[in-house]
Amino acid sequence: MKSKTYILVCIALVMMSAVFAQPGKQKRADTLFNKFSFVKAAEVYKDLIKNNYNKDYATRQLADCYAYLRNPSAAARYYKRVVEQKDVPIEYYYSYAQALRGIKKYKESREWMQRFKDSGGVTNTDSFEKDQLFMAHVFSSKKQYFLKRTRINSKFSDFGAIEHNGKIYFASSRDEGVSVKRVYGWNEQPFLDVYVTEKDSKKRVDHTHKLKGDVNSIYHDGPVVITNDGKTMYFSRNAANKYGKENDKRGISNINIYKATLKDSLWTDVEKLSINSNEYSVQHPALNKDNTRLYFSSDMPGGYGGSDIYYVDINPDGTYGAPINLGNVVNTKDSEGTPFINNEGILFFSSDGHLGLGLLDIFGTVTDETGTITDVVNLGVPVNSEKDDFSFTMNTDGLSGYFSSNRRGGRGDDDIYEYYRKPLLNVRGQVVDAINTKPIPNSEINLFDADGNKIAYMVTDKDGYYNINIDRNKDYKIVASLDKYIDDYREFTSKNISSIESVIVANLILNPVQNVEILADLSLNTIYFDFDKHNIREDAKKELDKIINLMNNDYPEMIIRIESHTDSRGSLTYNDKLSIDRANATYEYLISNGIDPSRITEHKGFGERRLTNGCEDGAKCEDEEHQLNRRTQFIVVQME
């Protein structure tokens, strides 16, 4: 009996111990979570769920762990359980939608995003409504990026590759070949270091390829950017001093930007930039073409979202200006980072706030003629995937470079992908009037292939411009047309065009239809005279003033002749003289009001020889019918 009682007491004690242990486990899990040790935190939350302790809370935290670890498959699995909970905060609808997007379940993602919106959640309405159209477009667009195999990846995180003087610099947590490894709690991988290897080297990149000098520390270092002269390197690193990490008020070591100088083949003299702060991160350095501006990402106060892209001017004395936020065309309420500026001044960056295929996507900016950023464009597949895509860089040739991704099929966690680019080719130009060189809006543009098949149609914009994407290695004919103009065309080829070329220019010139009464077509009436008179009537002056304006302003090269007429009443000789008087009166009015006499080839009278109707001698006609014959007409002789 005593033995049985003893066993029961032991069981009770074990059960009580397990019960009392659970609050301690949750506290430990939360501590790990708040310290960004998501791998370890996830294991403890799983244990809490298994023991049915505060299960709803633990499931939410576990889903968030996987979201932070950029594992959308696992995140979606647990967020699915979370959104089924009673009275769950609607923010989890949004998180679930994002995770579904990361596993290519785009339809379900839109449904949960709609539910988030219907429940009162705030979304970017414009982006939300464009989402379905975007998805159709991004998968059907002609590809201009193609992937190449690279040998520098490991089973750990590798990203941020740049080329400089025949070498590839990148950040990696591999630390392979080192006996003692320090591990980063967020993802349980070694801390990042900067590595360098020859571009075409086939050697395995290990710890012997770490950058020589003082850039690599015992904490996170990289990625980097190097000035054009090769003497200065900017890089990201945990905020630290000679005593160790520098933490913010929450105990977190933020990332800062440092610079180093190349001396005797070693990167040394490491300096912390003045733009840094221990209270927020400043990271992902990038330089513009002439190295006068430093771009970076930061979660400093006053931004639009989680992290924004900023820049500072680098002054001639080496000091830095005040940080400038790039604005809400680039930055969103979510996170933007890893900026890069190519030789044409185009900004590339990663974001999970703009329309994308999954988690982080890579975008390029669109600028106007003043250099102002007006829009951003998703680079599409294969650069972007349903996973994280970031750290896009481009070599000086504009046709090759690198980006990083944790997509399926890679060797490790984040992998570096090398790409080569075939720019989209387009034919563009302007349609202008041959006489006054003014642009012609709304003129029709038709593009034909070598067999005469029409393959594209558009109309010119308000400034007479058109732009049509075309294929390489083909022959084309482009035709511009518009009423009252003679068609113009150009034949051109995209064969043997350099791969770096992206534009073929084909301007088109339309001549107004010649040797016709163009003035009548432009609602300019023939002028008329009173019976037996040659003076210019008031109604005729209005029409002549229109002609003067047309010749002086619209068609400054146009040349005309004047033809005047009479009705049939009176003798033939008298009517010849009267028509000459009418022609002279018209001519004098035009030149006295600014028309160069050389632009009127002749002013001639034809008497009654060219009647417009049947009102000949002896015919019974009303005066209104005779009036139609007492006229002066204007004939276009030359348009250009």
pLDDT tens readout for residues 559-598: 888 999 999 998 999 999 999 999 999 999 999 999 999 9
Residues 6+ apart with CB under 8 A from 557: 435, 436, 638, 639, 640
The C-alpha atoms of residue 133 and residue 507 are separated, in whole angstroms, by 32
Look-up of token digits 């972007």 = 384
- Asked whether residue 17 is domain-assigned, the answer is no
Question: In terms of domains, do 198 and 211 share one?
Answer: yes
The C-alpha atoms of residue 28 and residue 30 are separated, in whole angstroms, by 5
HSE-CB at 271 with a 13 A cutoff on CA atoms is 12
Give me the pLDDT at residue 10, please.
44
Question: In terms of domains, do 455 and 577 share one?
Answer: no
The C-alpha atoms of residue 115 and residue 60 are separated, in whole angstroms, by 18
Is 68:38 a contact under the CB 8 Å cutoff?
yes
Question: In terms of domains, do 287 and 317 share one?
Answer: yes
- Asked whether residue 129 is domain-assigned, the answer is no
477 phi and psi, to 5 degrees? -135, 130
Boundary (domain end) residue, out of 493, 512, 531: 512
CATH number, domain containing residue 80 = 1.25.40.10
Question: In terms of domains, do 468 and 575 share one?
Answer: no
Q: Residue 337: beta bridge partners?
A: 350
Give me the pLDDT at residue 35, please.
61
Parent domain of 269 = 147-421
CATH number, domain containing residue 312 = 2.120.10.30
Question: In terms of domains, do 59 and 195 share one?
Answer: no
Q: How many domains does the chain have?
A: 4
Question: In terms of domains, do 360 and 291 share one?
Answer: yes
The C-alpha atoms of residue 519 and residue 525 are separated, in whole angstroms, by 7
Peptide bond into 72 cis (omega under 30): no
- Asked whether residue 137 is domain-assigned, the answer is no
- Asked whether residue 474 is domain-assigned, the answer is yes
Question: In terms of domains, do 536 and 593 share one?
Answer: yes
Question: In terms of domains, do 488 and 525 share one?
Answer: no
358-393 pLDDT, tens per residue?
A: 789 999 888 877 888 888 888 888 898 888 899 999
- Per the structure block, which two tokens stand in for 212? 């020589």
In the chain, how long is the greatest CA-to-CA distance? 153
Whole-model pTM: value is 0.60
Question: In terms of domains, do 523 and 508 share one?
Answer: no
CATH number, domain containing residue 575 = 3.30.1330.60
Question: In terms of domains, do 407 and 473 share one?
Answer: no
Look-up of token digits 């300096």 = 271
Question: In terms of domains, do 315 and 209 share one?
Answer: yes
- Asked whether residue 275 is domain-assigned, the answer is yes
Give me the pLDDT at residue 511, please.
81
Where the chain has pLDDT below 70, the residues are: 1-22, 35-36, 122-142, 176-189, 240-245, 248, 435, 500, 514-525, 639-640
Give me the pLDDT at residue 376, please.
85
Torsion on CA atoms 202, 208, 212, 217, rounded to nearest 10: 130
Give me the pLDDT at residue 227, please.
96
Boundary (domain end) residue, out of 78, 108, 123: 123
The C-alpha atoms of residue 575 and residue 580 are separated, in whole angstroms, by 9
- Return the DSSP state at 423: P
Question: In terms of domains, do 203 and 245 share one?
Answer: yes
- Residue 70, sorted as left (phi over 0), alpha (psi -120 to 50) or beta, turns out to be left
Torsion on CA atoms 228, 229, 230, 231, rounded to nearest 10: -130
